[in-house]
Structure 1
Amino acid sequence: MTTGTKTRRSRKGQTATSASGDRILALDAGNYDLKFFDGIGHPKAIRSVRFQLPQGRDAVSYSEASPLIELPDGTRYHFGAQAYKYRRQQQTVVENKVELARLHLYACLESWNDSTEFSVQVYASTPDPARNAEPMREQLTGLHEFRRNGLDYRVQVTHVEVEREGMGAYRYAKQLGLVPSSGYTIVVDIGGGTWLTRLVDAEGEVIDENVMDRGGAYELAVSISFDKRLTSILGTSADPSIIMDGFRNEHTYADTELSWEEWLDEHLDSWFKGIFQTVRAQYTPYLPRVTRFLVTGGSTHLISDRLAGRKLFTVMGDPQFANVRGLHSMSSDTQLCMTAN
């Protein structure tokens, strides 16, 4: 059936709505950050930590970067940096983020055209679509009613597309001309909780892959958390999640002036080598045909200096948001397929 419809684009040439007028939202719910992008401006991020408030507890202040979500049954969740102001926060990095897909969507659904009632198509990613895509669709598709930052939302999710994590970054890199037109590309996506690789041929087909359920920046943070040079001064054990925050804040521990920057390399060396030795072992038969290693993901900044100047390596600019940018661009292809069918 031919729909004969076209997508509407924003002033910057990015898809703003679908063929049916639905909002388009790309969602990359990572272990460190929830990244989202509607095609206008710059992608946004919310720290992937939350606190479930008891019924009798007032919430601290909320914002777009740290939203307060209330479900119809009265349960409330405070996301983002503000969650650190409560005791015993819940960290996505040590949980199954697929089971949290619905809550993560609510955290990222800002109002649209000054309205909190709209239809949306969601383009998401997961490390293992074969196992997780259907459960994510079941959670996300349909009508959702909730309160976000004091406003009542009524959102209809009309379509959910789930892609391999990391392939959005590959797609975005191809648009930027960073992927050679021949040979194989190995995408190395280093996140907060996991890291993964995809071996992609010149036609964009994944021909091999490896998903490590652990081993992302959280593993590096755990290693640092046991170092006596930190714990002896703190006088208590160090929280790996706070260390992860410090990776983006001059390697300091929370509001203290304690820093592990001077001895970071002692932990970073083994973490870095562990990742790339695994990559080399996984793809040894293909290496003669590899023309690009594309390194991306929210933890890439930790190793970018070590890859500078290496001929086959390209580190994505703004790597934290490369995947979600590419996911958003998928909507154009989907709408074209709908029109052509």
Structure 2
Amino acid sequence: MTLRNRLLVLLAAVAALAVVATASVLHASARAERRNEARPGGPRVTAGRVTLTAPGTMVFRNMAWGPHRDELTTVPAAAPAGPRTASGLKCLRFYAAAGTGVCLQAVHGTVTDTYRALILDARLKETARYDVPGIPSRARVSPTGRFAAWTAFVGGDSYAGTNFSTRAAIVDTRTGKLIPTLESFRIVKDGHVYHAADVNFWGVTFAADDRTFYATLATKGSTYLVRGDLRTRTVSTLHANVECPSLSPDGTRVAYKKRVKGLPKDAPWHLYVLDLRTMRETPLAESRSVDDQAVWRDDRTIVYALPGDYGADLYTVPANGTGRARLLSDAAVSPAYIR
């Protein structure tokens, strides 16, 4: 082949790659445009003012297709299927308490995405920002607003298997002091100091004393509920087979997802509530697998997300094991109740 023919072949290849790249960009742009188009039958969402201090409201990530998809949105807690007010602020995961919020975001780059955690005041104004080392999965704020926590995948992207690694961080929202990983804490397992290279933590939930927290510890193929102490920087195991705990408002019980034998590997969890005094487990009346860190609407009711037509829907079930699961709000995820 002559040099001229080689150049022609090279130019043709470059042109073909340019066409493919242009088509990919146009396809992505068209897909983004479709995401911004509201669909008939979906929730009504309009822009407005959202705060974290309006009692009796639920703030959540809106999943409805349209210009406000992924934005923090609010509805009256008593009318969760009603019209929504969108804030303009987009979050992947969110939680709030006592006028303080934490918003986990993706920052889309030309080659890859990065992630960050924003600490928000009552008007959703950013007060601090922290890098997050992987895909965000869980977020919590302490009942006083003093502490915020988040979990990210730093290896893998699902809790369903065993080949993943997580990083759980806690920040003091008053001082800005960050604990980048709970792996720096001393672990007491079954009454003895424990060391292992495969330790993972996720799903932090806080008590009201600005000292105690609960989380999941995973090691050697098993998971445990741990109670943590922010002053002594120690965690102690309490109960086996507990993931993504959520402490009740009265501080007496933990709602969590538990792996159940016989379920599919990609959907292995049922919801339970654990009495922290008696360590008695109560299975909840939700037969589907739940991969979420549940939220307590009040001391009697659990709220959680399941896959839906828009990505996720919120459901509710009694915390005492009675009744049945009910749809609370479609096209919604990551709720927080403003009390």
Q: Which band: TM-score by shorter chain?
A: under 0.3
Greater Rg over alpha carbons, structure: 2
Structure richer in strand, relative to its length:
2
Structure richer in helix, relative to its length:
1
Q: TM-score, normalised to structure 1's length?
A: 0.26
Ranked by relative contact order (alpha carbons within 8 Å, sequence separation 6 or more), the top structure is 1
